[in-house]
Chain A
Amino acid sequence: MLFAAENLVGPSIPWFYLNPLFILLGGIVVLMLVGSLTPQWPRHWYGIVSSVTAAVALVSTVLLWDNVTNEKPRAIFGDALALDHFALLGTISICAAVFLCSLLTSDYLQRDSDDGPELYVLYLTAAIGGIIMVASNDLIVLFLGLETLSLSLYVLAASNRRRSESQEAGLKYFILGGFSSAFFLYGIALVYGATKTTNITGIFTALSSSQSVPRNDVFLLVGTGLMLVGLAFKVAAVPFQMWTPDVYQGAPTPVTAFMASAGKTAAFAALLRVTLTALPTRVDDWRPIIWVLALLSIVVGSLLAVTQTNVKRMLAYSSISHAGFMLVGIEAAAHPNSADAGNGISGVMTYLLLYTVLVIGTFAVVGLVARKGDTATELSDFKGLGKQQPALALALTVFLLAQAGVPLTSGFIAKFGVIKAAVEVHSYAIAIAAMVASVIGAFLYLRIMVSVWLEDETAENTPIQVPFLTGLVVAMAAIFTIVIGVVPGWLLDATQQVAALTGR
């Protein structure tokens, strides 16, 4: 009887630092109550509640920023959550994604004569899952966050009941997601076997002394590999990308935007967290894996994107190649002996934040072009957009150019950041490969632009309406894209602090 009977003292709970989570939870409660108590709310209100919740959560996260600056990064809540700028930035990205996607969804549901609070609740739960992933300091917590996020996404992907593609996308995503979760979990189990803990800081401590875990411990090696496989599925890195195009195409467009933004942010943050705070002493073991994944993702993503004719599929492949870029940043961060390795972390996180806005903007336009029913996403459906809706077309052009990495857009700043990080640790090969492959990728964006501007519209294309909220999202995203492209200083200032991770 080691435990004297009934005196469990639970961990102290830093309520203040959990504000964003509570705000999101509050939003969920409000939406669910409202959804169940009132017969039907007037249009747009559900979406606005959801996005306001996200915005408030975002602001509260920003308010925490200075608090965290003053106190050192540390683990809170029974050492299960990490409190550092990294987590806060991830939270900001995710909240921004919820904010924008809720607005998109609002118009989307109106157009397809559907409404209800459920999808927004799922956005918010997904956000909570994502934030937990970003902030987790324990593999089990990470896994639970991952599942919360993933399950929300599965449902969201399948949520359009009028399109069989949507449900098929949900199913495909679900099966492969569950499959990858199992791998991730097995990885956790093996790492647990090697280190006797699932706590990330604990793993780091265990691995720091060579006595407790030998250098060539097979459990750790295989466990690391399996965890990487699981996370690579989630970030859609080649060769674990096969679900992406189908799911992106099938899911409702605002949901696709959400998957590509918040989903990616959370998964990448988790990948960074696992690799860099738990396993930094074993970089030599896993860096080559990241290297290969990065290269394959960029090249294969770009190459396959070119062969597509459906814009959502194209963007899916392009997101794969973007994932490759971010992996380049992780690869750069995996040089703990270099003084500049931290730039890899901040590079990736900046990339994620910028890509979040960028990709949501892109999909916002795609969603509008998809028209009622959310089906018109072939390249030919974009014909004549430039003539019909020049402002929209211009915004799309800005987004596409930014994705291609043209200077004076946020996309360029993002790419510049990771490439710089890679060059700083002398990973020239991957940097050059990434840049060259991005040229192939640029072809894809050009194809869309050709359809938009240079080809005449076909007769059967119905006119495109731009509802207010979606228009707002597009405008905000476009302005953000340009502003960051021109004056990125303030953002870079902030993201430089991200490199200080809890437990390092």
Chain B
Amino acid sequence: MELFVFICAAAMVLAGALGVVLRSNPVHAALSLVLTLFGIAVMFVSQQAEFLAAVQVVVYAGAIVVLFLFVIMLLGVDRAENLETESLGVQRPLAIILSLGFVALLVTTIVQGRDSLNMRGDGLITADSGDHDANIRQIARSIFSNYVVAFEVTSVLLIVAVVGTVVLARKRKSEKDLTGVSA
């Protein structure tokens, strides 16, 4: 059953990823991205990271891709681009070869190094042990002890995001309104 889940999720992930790269219509690409994200959420679940799975769906599917779609629709850039004309001679095959090489490197690394992955652990408590909230509890503990700095920095990061958007999106009187669609 676990194998079945893995195969399904992997198929989702890969199909979605290929969709992002290959689909010419940005909306279709975004939907493919959602597919991938769901696949990954499923994988999180099957790796007993329930909390992350939920957050993944909420944040990625619920916010990030929606934003993508929003921008696409708002700006009306949803026409399909011609995949043929955008190729730049040697660049595309080169990029593909490069990426393939990179993947080969990574896969070799993983296969080579899998045995050396340190197995001894001081306790990732999974739901199996009967503690219903174990995963969430552990993550919370980790966030608020080792990573409390990171957590605080996150707030600055979000300020950046907010202020940044204001800077980018705000219009001055002097600038003409060029957008056709308004919400």
Contact = CB atoms under 8 A, between A and B. Distances in A.
The answer to whether A and B touch in the complex, with CB atoms under 8 Å apart, is yes
B148 A77 contact: yes
Interface string A123-142: 00110110010001010110
Given A2-B123, A148-B153, A212-B118, 14 more contacts: A1-B129, A2-B125, A8-B145, A11-B148, A122-B163, A125-B156, A132-B153, A141-B149, A141-B150, A148-B160, A155-B163, A195-B118, A213-B118, A219-B109
Contacts of A113: 174
Of A9, A119, A196, A213, most buried by chain B (CB within 10 Å of CB) is A196
B143 to A, nearest CB: 10
A80 B116 contact: no
Nearest to A113: B174
A288 B150 CA distance: 32
Of B106, B118, B145, B153, most buried by chain A (CB within 10 Å of CB) is B153
Contacts of A119: 167
A81 interface: yes
Nearest to B134: A1
Given A148-B160, A222-B106, A161 B172 contact: yes
B139 interface: no
25 contacts: A9-B145, A10-B145, A11-B145, A11-B148, A80-B146, A80-B149, A81-B149, A118-B166, A122-B163, A138-B149, A141-B147, A144-B150, A144-B157, A148-B153, A155-B164, A155-B167, A159-B168, A161-B168, A193-B113, A193-B117, A218-B112, A219-B109, A219-B117, A222-B105, A222-B109
Contacts of A152: 160, 164
Given A2-B123, A118-B166, A122-B164, A138 B116 contact: no
A121 interface: yes
Contacts of B154: 144
Nearest to B165: A155
B141 A8 contact: yes
A490 interface: no
Contact of B157 (A121, A148, A196, A199): A148
Q: Which size bracket describes the interface of B in this complex?
A: 35 or more
A290 B144 CA distance: 36
A373 interface: no
A298 to B, nearest CB: 25
Interface residues of A, number: 56
A168 interface: no
A138 B118 CA distance: 20
Chain B interface secondary structure, helix, strand, loop or mixed? helix
B144 A8 contact: yes
Nearest to A5: B137
Contacts of B117: 193-194, 219
Contacts of A32: 159, 163
A233 interface: no
A190 interface: yes
Contacts of A340: none
Contacts of B146: 11, 78-80, 138, 199
A125 B166 CA distance: 15
A145 interface: yes
Given A32-B163, A151-B160, A80 B147 contact: yes
B150 to A, nearest CB: 5
Contacts of A214: 116
A284 interface: no
Given A80-B147, A196-B118, A151 B106 contact: no
Interface string B112-131: 11001110010101000101
Interface string A91-122: 00000000000000000000001100011011
Nearest to A151: B160
Interface string A29-60: 00010000000000000000000000000000
Contacts of B156: 25, 125, 128-129, 148
B175 interface: yes
Nearest to B117: A193
B161 interface: yes
A147 interface: yes
A145 B153 contact: yes
Contacts of A190: 109
Contacts of A154: 164
